[in-house]
A = this chain, B = another copy of it.
Amino acid sequence: MPKQVDHQARRRQIADALLRIVDREGLEGVSLRHVAAEAGVSMGRIQHYFATKDQMMIFALIHVHERIYQRVNACLDPRSPRDLVRSAIIEMLPLDDERRTEARIALAFLARSAVEPAYAATLREGYPYHTVFFAEQIRRAQRSGEAPADLDPEREAVLLFAITQGLVNPTLIGHYTEETVIGAVDRHLDRIFRVR
């Protein structure tokens, strides 16, 4: 046989090409030939690494979520619970090209998951992470007196995540300016955290 290759690396390379297409044209722009051309490889190679198109798509979905997760994690501001939460929220908003790209991709897969249970299952796995993170930060703030003790951390986490997600799409479509969304986020954080 030819050189033993790194299967996961090959898969990721293909997935990256796929995601570039999703960014430009949405999921409906994805075809085996199209992905092959974008990746600069043959269709046979695509088929060698993914038995079906759906398997390739699901792999790309998981892959992009890992990318987002790592990028957000790298940008966290650890000075206080509030700063942590704020930096995480801001980093998930589509305020530069990289984040707009990821927001478009995530939106495309989200829409698909509304009609394809296999996609929805993958998405559901990722949801709890955010609310658990927000709730944990609120509890930390409560212990240090930076947040009122009578707040329900879980409920506040649901609201924080909803605000984050709810700001993404209008911003992506071009409805809000950066100042508007950041102002709204800070306004809400003022309600949870006592000090800046």
Contacts and interface: CB of A to CB of B under 8 A. Distances in A.
Contact of A107 (B114, B124, B161, B173): B114
Contacts of A110: 107, 111, 169, 173
Given A26-B112, A183-B155, A164 B166 contact: yes
Interface in A107-124: 107-108, 110-116, 120, 123-124
Give chain A's interface residue range (CB within 8 Å of chain B).
35 or more
Provide the main secondary structure of the chain A interface: helix
Interface string A105-145: 00110111111100010011001000000000000000000
B124 A174 contact: yes
B114 A108 contact: yes
A193 to B, nearest CB: 14
Which 9 pairs, one residue from A and one from B, show the smallest C-beta to C-beta distance?
A: A166-B166, A162-B166, A111-B111, A165-B166, A26-B115, A158-B184, A104-B114, A162-B167, A162-B163
Interface of A: 24-29, 103-104, 107-108, 110-116, 120, 123-124, 127, 152, 155-156, 158-159, 161-167, 169-170, 172-176, 180-181, 183-184, 187-188, 191
25 contacts: A26-B111, A26-B116, A27-B28, A27-B111, A28-B28, A103-B114, A107-B110, A107-B111, A107-B114, A108-B111, A108-B114, A108-B115, A110-B169, A114-B172, A114-B173, A124-B173, A152-B187, A155-B184, A158-B176, A158-B184, A162-B163, A162-B167, A164-B166, A165-B169, A166-B166
